[in-house]
Structure 1
Amino acid sequence: MRRTAVVAAAGAAALVLAACGGSGGDGSAGHGGHAATAPSSAPSSASASASASASQGQHNAADVAFAKGMIPHHRQAVEMADLAPGRARSAEVQKLAADIKKAQDPEIRTLSGWLTSWGEDVPAEGAMDHSTHDMSGMGGMMTAEEMTGLENASGKAFDTAFTELMIKHHEGAVEMARTEQADGAHGPARKMAVEIIDSQSAEIEQMNALLGKD
């Protein structure tokens, strides 16, 4: 009985030593311990990165609405401006149309870039053809009938129609920009809104003066 107990105790001791040797000698425990501490540092690094990214380019629903609304709005203004060469009689109207296109083409590209970076869809080129009916009366967008009338006009009739319609169009853009200025979170978008308010308000004054000369 005594011999059996000694053998059993020796066997138990051997098992304990083997277990200790396995935990100390096997590198997997060390890796496991390292892996256990890694996740605790990863989230802080990820949250720091998220915070940096938020401070650099945070945006909200108002910014998205501004970009998605202003792109088709600008596209229509550019389309109107493209009608001026060959139709407008006034050199001032021709220059105004050229200035509008020069200012708004780059803004369309910038607005599209923001939407892409935010994971949002950029309004399709053809969307304007369908939206003119839905957006007429909202944001100063022209109806299909008004666009056709402008395409068919020339000389002084074109100058007057272009100027009157573009005033309404610009007033809509200024209103949209003021909404972005008040509600938006994206710094560059709010800055563009201020520039649109300033430049298009000045052009509205210019066009009202042109109409006053007739």
Structure 2
Amino acid sequence: MSRASVVTTGLVALAVLTAGGCDSGPDRKPAAADGPAVIAPGEPGEANRTLSAEEAADQRSENDSPNSADVSYVRMMIEHHTQALVMTELVPKRAESSKVKRIAERVAAGQKPEIEAMKGWLKSYGKPLQAERHEHATMPGMATEAQLKKLRAAGGKAFDHLFLTLMTTHHQGAITMATDAKGQGNNIRVEEMADEVIAQQTSEITRMRDML
């Protein structure tokens, strides 16, 4: 083999190795991981859009302006939390168990500041506390008027059991709402508040189930 052929062969091999090194180097941008499509709710009057998981992440990193799902979640969760406080206010005079009294105090202590934080969030974006049309009829976990009436009339162990049952269901509904908000919303602060709801209320569900 001539000297020129050897040089040419070596250069080709070097080019192949260099190309391979570039493909496997740490700076190579990985292919986007496959993920489920995300439905992105539009602003009022706008159609929803279907985004890939990567597109949804890119959109949020570029602009976390709240969409209709964020606003709806915050409004509904304020009302949802408010009903929980109505239930906890009955506990001091009607409950028998000291454990029930403590869990009620814990619920109230957690949800009162969350309500204020959510009201502040709405105000910061110039959103009214209530929508023009009522959108809260299908909130999961909400106690009915009949159930609240029964709770107000109960006392002692019967009250304890009913309170724990209703509040557990109420918490499960809040977790469902928060999970939906994380998947449909766009605002980072709303996602953080939803994470707080999920963590706090999951812990409280465990405590209440242990009391039943």
What range describes the TM-score normalised by the shorter chain of this pair? 0.5 to 0.7
Give 2:210's aligned residue. 209
Query: Any idea what the Cα deviations from partners look like across 1:4-59, whole Å, max 9, x if unmatched?
Result: xxxxxxxxxxxxxxxxxxxxxxxxxxxxxxxxxxxxxxxxxxxxxxxxxx968621
Of the three residues 82, 101, 119, the one matched with 2:108 is 101
> TM-score w.r.t. structure 1 length?
0.65
AA partner of residue 163 (structure 1): L
1:84 aligns with 2:100: no
Q: Between Structure 1 and Structure 2, which shows a larger proportion of helix residues?
A: 1
Distance 2:135 2:159 in 1: 24
Q: Root-mean-square deviation (CA), in Å?
A: 2.1
Cα deviation for residue 106 of structure 1 reads 0.7
Contact kept in structure 2, 1:72 and 1:123, CA below 8 Å: no
Query: Any idea what the Cα deviations from partners look like across 1:94-117, whole Å, max 9, x if unmatched?
Result: 000011111001111111111122
1:151 aligns with 2:152: yes
Paired-residue identity, %: 39
Give 1:116's aligned residue. 123
1:186 aligns with 2:187: yes
Give 2:162's aligned residue. 161
Distance 1:131 1:189 in 2: 18
Cα deviation for residue 119 of structure 1 reads 2.1
Of the three residues 73, 76, 82, the one matched with 1:75 is 82
Instruction: Show structure 2 runs of 5+ residues with no match.
Output: 1-60
Contact kept in structure 2, 1:71 and 1:123, CA below 8 Å: no
Larger radius of gyration: 1
> TM-score w.r.t. structure 2 length?
0.66
Distance 2:130 2:105 in 1: 24
Distance 2:65 2:115 in 1: 20
Instruction: Show structure 1 runs of 5+ residues with no match.
Output: 1-53, 125-129
Distance 1:145 1:197 in 2: 27
Cα deviation for residue 171 of structure 1 reads 0.4
Following superposition, which runs of at least 4 residues in structure 1 exceed 3 angstroms of deviation? Answer: 54-57
